[in-house]
Structure 1
Amino acid sequence: MKAAEIRELSLDELKDKISVAQEELNKLELTHAVAELENPIQLRAKRRDIARLKTDLRRRELAAQ
């Protein structure tokens, strides 16, 4: 997910995306622990997506203050 796409999301959509992405990451990590993932780079990409989402959420929180 690109930063421009993230900025277009509403606050509720952003929070929903974060929770969904964290659930997906947990599932990927569990799958990776049991058996090899076909593409382990997915883990890195998902962590980075979550970081982008959380960064934008924090930016909005600071701007609101």
Structure 2
Amino acid sequence: MAEVYEYVPHALLYKRVRDIASGAKGVLMAVVHQNVSDTAIEHWVDLAYIRLPSGRETTTVVTNIEATA
């Protein structure tokens, strides 16, 4: 299994967003097309990397993010 990923452009990059699933709020730092499988069958998703106010980053599926004020 190849450990390949690719950065994806996104309209909300470096803007404040909220993860709908967890309610976490922060700044969208990157969107990455990434292989998340742990088997021989590859499973690719677009992951959003959100930097929280604490400085830690969390990930969620990019379809789970929305802009906040």
Higher strand share: 2
Q: Computing the radius of gyration over CA atoms, which structure comes out larger, 1 or 2?
A: 1
TM-score over 0.5 for the alignment?
A: no
Q: TM-score, normalised by structure 2?
A: 0.25
Higher helix share: 1
